[in-house]
Amino acid sequence: MSQSSPVTSTAPEVQPLTTVPFRTPAERQGLRDVLNAVRSLNQAGVAGEGREIAFSIDRLTRLPVVKVVDIDSKEVVVQWPADYVLRLAANLEKQVRIQDEPIL
């Protein structure tokens, strides 16, 4: 397995973890812990030959996204949660914000 940094999606709605603004020391420590865990999993070859595990934060929902990515083609083999689940969550959040806004 490659010892490169985790692969991140090029999709605009997913941010690499290093660009997500974490405000508290606990959030920053959580980020470091996740990055170390992903690095350890990739070094151990858990995802299989020619694959890496990538972790990012969905920009719209701020939900964690875990992917198994082909190292050569950068193709996403599998992703949790799936894109459609992230979009459903984003749409639900948008509806909740609209309902909470005052009319006047």
Which residues is 15 bridged to in the sheet? Answer: 57
The pTM score is 0.64
How far is the C-alpha of 104 from the C-alpha of 83, rounded, in Å?
35
Q: How many CB atoms lie within 10 A of CB 29?
A: 11
* Per-residue pLDDT of the chain in tens (104 residues, 90 and over written 9): 334 444 444 344 555 555 556 668 887 788 788 889 999 999 999 999 999 999 988 888 888 899 999 999 999 999 999 999 999 988 887 776 655 556 65
